[in-house]
Amino acid sequence: MHPRDYKCGFFKASEFVIFDPRPSASTWAKIVFIIDQLNPIRKILGQPIKIDSGSRSYEWEIFKKRSGLSQHVYKNGKGAVDLTTEGIEKLEELYKLLLSTKFTRICIYRDKLFIHADFKPSQHRLYESKEGEWERVFS
Ligand SMILES: [Zn+2]
């Protein structure tokens, strides 16, 4: 089986590589690890979680005039994911459920209705985006 066809529980690996046409073996392994984090909380949430952005190639980031240093470029770390789910209450619930996973940084964008999560070592875990800046959430 090609890694692209990997499916586990509620998620498919192919959902994570829309912006990364040629994922490396290590990227596929990071995607599997992220799927393992998401499955239990998807079950508790009780409704679909959409993967808006998973792995993004360095070339894609440069094309989009970004730095290439994003955690979405999976070789920069253990990977990152942008998540959406229907309804602001459910998005807030998902934000809190992510605390039970191994993600080390979780940021909610209430204005754009999505959550970014990654594994970058950080002193704090919860953030919220305010006018494009991340602000620490005291919890
Ligand atoms: Zn993101």
Q: What is the pLDDT of residues 58-84, one digit of tens each?
A: 999 999 999 999 999 999 999 999 999
Question: How much is the pLDDT for 139?
Answer: 67
pLDDT digits (tens, 9 = 90+) for 89-128: 999 999 999 999 999 999 999 999 999 999 999 999 999 9
CA of 46 to the centre of ligand 1 (A): 23
CA of 106 to the centre of ligand 1 (A): 9
CA of 71 to the centre of ligand 1 (A): 8
CA of 68 to the centre of ligand 1 (A): 13
Element (H, E) at 81: strand 80-84
CA of 67 to the centre of ligand 1 (A): 13
CA of 53 to the centre of ligand 1 (A): 7
- Indicate whether 47 pLDDT > 70: yes
Task: Tell me what the mean pLDDT of segment 46-58 comes to.
Answer: 98
CATH level 3 topology of 21-122: Muramoyl-pentapeptide Carboxypeptidase; domain 2 (3.30.1380)
- Please classify residue 88 by burial: count the beta carbons closer than 10 Å to its beta carbon, then call 0-12 exposed, 13-18 middle and 19+ buried: exposed
Cα-only R_g, the chain: 14
pLDDT digits (tens, 9 = 90+) for 11-44: 999 999 999 999 999 999 999 999 999 999 999 9
CA of 1 to the centre of ligand 1 (A): 28
Question: How much is the pLDDT for 64?
Answer: 97
- Shortest CA distance to 105 belongs to which of 118, 114, 91? 118
* Tokens linked to 14: 């192919």
CA of 2 to the centre of ligand 1 (A): 26
Q: What is the pTM of this model?
A: 0.95
CA of 22 to the centre of ligand 1 (A): 19
CA of 44 to the centre of ligand 1 (A): 22
Cα–Cα dist 20/38, whole Å: 20
